[in-house]
């Protein structure tokens, strides 16, 4: 821990309120490069330590869109049966 102020910080965070990132102590999770004390993430990654992937968000959107399409198709088929 880093006692940068009255609040003890957990590495790689530092500063009086643990608001600063010391990415020299981390490898940006292999998904970015530490530059001037902060992680610059590679394409497809985000977060203060490049720990989050846009791929997971895209996967979730595709699943939700697929479910919506299936529900619409089932609704249309049901309505066709009612009309006949």
Identify the pLDDT of residue 2: 46
Higher pLDDT, 16 or 45: 45
Residues 43 and 8 in one domain: yes
- How many distinct structural domains can be found in the chain? 2
CA distance 39 to 50: 7
Residues 32 and 12 in one domain: yes
Residues 45 and 83 in one domain: no
Give residue 80's domain range.
Answer: 54-84
Residues 8 and 45 in one domain: yes
Mean pLDDT (whole number) for 1-5? 46
CA distance 46 to 56: 12
Identify the pLDDT of residue 6: 59
pTM: 0.46
Predicted confidence (pLDDT) per residue in 33-75, tens digit: 988 778 899 998 999 889 998 876 666 666 777 887 878 888 8
φ, ψ (nearest 5 deg) of residue 67? -65, -40
Identify the pLDDT of residue 45: 92
Residues 11 and 32 in one domain: yes
């Amino acid at each position: 821990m880093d006692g940068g102020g009255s609040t003890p910080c957990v590495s790689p965070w530092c500063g009086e309120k643990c608001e600063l990132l010391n990415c020299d102590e981390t490898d940006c999770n292999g998904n970015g490069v530490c530059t001037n004390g902060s992680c610059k993430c590679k394409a497809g990654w985000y977060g203060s330590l490049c720990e989050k992937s846009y791929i997971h968000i895209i996967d979730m959107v595709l699943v939700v869109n697929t479910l919506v399409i299936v529900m619409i198709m089932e609704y249309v088929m049901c309505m066709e049966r009612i009309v006949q």
